[in-house]
Amino acid sequence: MRRRRFLATLAAVALDPPAIAQAPAGARRIGLLRIGGTSGVAAFREGLRELGWVEGQNVVIDYRSAEGLDSLPDLAGELVRLKVDIIVAVATPATAAAKNATPTIPIVMIAVADPVGLGLVASYAHPGGNVTGLTNRVGGVTTVGKQLELFKEIIPEVRRVAILSNPGNPADALAIRNIEAAARSLAVQLELLEARAPNEFDAAFAAMAKERVGALIVLADPVFSFSGARLADLAAKSRLPAAYGYREIVEAGGLMSYGPSLPDLWRRAAAYVDKILKGANPAELPVEQPRKFELVINLKTAKALGLTIPQSVLLRADEVIQ
């Protein structure tokens, strides 16, 4: 356990210097808890600056970045011991870890799939506790069904599609239920595969090859986002068209992504922080849904896979990477 805590601290230092920030006199303190690298942080800082909160002046951010799910409780505990004024938690596992660590410090969540079903808030309109923020789904539906529809447009003959999920993330179970309903309507058979950490990716892709799947959907899990470049490389080596929930993986060589704009969610999270630091009660701040979705397609990857992306799909893309 001591070794795990030590490695988690090293990860935080490596990903977000400084891991322990020095607070100017009178500055408010924000704890930032997540898995992975710095994606989204710039948008969050920008949102804070627009509202008058300047890092290093009147606000300090204590960064805690985990490489996996196991270290999140320890990192959340560290933020509580630092007596931060507010915790910003990114994705479901980090938000659950923060809520388990403190019933009193306000928590602003970003991109949590089912905050009501997971017991993080009482309702969207009236959260009722110390957690509020932003979900990454609209009307109870995640975006994976749309990804499957896009595959049917791009590869009409596809019949078997692999789904890579993280069994340690309760939000992934919701996404699987959504895509199972879409698969039935599209006459697609799903091959459900799991990976808790990057050391399980190779076995998952070996199973995909064995099952002869025609495409892959990687769920929008923070562990997968952190290892996006490797997942894109494995999909390329397997000559497997793959869709992701994060545009960063497409920028790293993945075929396509569809999902909420994470920079937009991060920027809007700053507004929650501003209100709470000025005295608002998180129990009374409604949970908000995504407003902006992005379809990103990598044409270079499509060409390498021998795919022709239909013009009807390209015209709907928010960005096409040449």
Q: For 294-313, what is the mean pLDDT?
A: 96
pLDDT at residue 213 above 60? yes
Is the pLDDT at 314 greater than 60? The verdict is: yes
Integer CA distances (angstroms), 208 to 83, 150, 198, 240, 241, in order: 46, 20, 16, 9, 12
Compute the radius of gyration of the chain from its Cα atoms. Answer: 20
pLDDT digits (tens, 9 = 90+) for 63-99: 999 877 889 999 999 999 999 999 999 999 999 999 9
The dihedral over CA atoms of 228, 232, 238, 241, expressed in degrees to the nearest 10, equals 110
In this prediction the pTM is 0.85
Residues 206, 317 within the same domain: yes
275 and 300 together in one domain: no
Mean pLDDT of 44-63: 96
The predicted structure's pLDDT at residue 256: 97
Question: 119 and 242 in one domain?
Answer: no
> 209 and 278 share a domain?
no
Is residue 55 located within the same domain as residue 162?
no
Contact 302, 148 (CB under 8 A): no
Residue 142 C-alpha from the chain's centroid: 12
Q: Residue 218 is part of a domain; what is its CATH number?
A: 3.40.50.2300
My answer on whether 173 and 304 are in the same domain is yes
pLDDT of residue 45: 96
Q: What percent of the chain has pLDDT over 70?
A: 91
226 touches 37 (CB < 8 A): yes
Mean pLDDT of 152-181: 90
Mean pLDDT across the chain: 89
The CB density around residue 133, as the number of other CB atoms within 10 Å, is 28
Quote the tokens at residue 111. 């991109």
**Do residue 224 and residue 275 come from a single domain?**
no
Number of structural domains (the chain) is 2
Domain carrying residue 111: 2-137+262-292
Give Cα separations from 57 to 42, 70, 110, 206 (angstroms). 17, 33, 24, 51
Q: Are residues 175 and 221 in the same domain?
A: yes
Q: Are residues 247 and 300 in the same domain?
A: yes
How far is the C-alpha of 37 from the C-alpha of 15, rounded, in Å?
6
Q: How confident is the model at residue 142 (pLDDT cuts 50, 70, 90)?
A: low
pLDDT at 220 over 90: no
Tens of pLDDT along 181-206?
A: 889 989 999 999 999 989 999 999 99
Task: Name the strands in the sheet holding 59-66, side by side, starting at the edge strand that comes first in the sequence.
Answer: 59-66, 28-35, 86-90, 107-112, 131-135
Dihedrals phi, psi of 223, to nearest 5 degrees: -65, -40
Share of the chain above pLDDT 90, in %: 72
Is the confidence at residue 146, as pLDDT, over 50? yes
Give yes or no: residues 202 and 298 share one domain: yes
Same-domain pairing of 80 and 112: yes
pLDDT digits (tens, 9 = 90+) for 16-37: 544 455 667 789 999 999 987 6
The pLDDT assigned to 141 comes to 57
Taking residues 287-299, report their average pLDDT: 94
Q: What is the DSSP string of 173-236?
A: HHHHHHHHHHHHHHT-EEEEEE-SSGGGHHHHHHHHHHHT-SEEEE---HHHHHTHHHHHHHHH
Verify that 43 and 64 share a domain, yes or no.
yes
Per-residue confidence at 62, pLDDT binned at 50, 70, 90?
Answer: very high
* Cβ atoms of residues 112 and 136 within 8 Å: yes
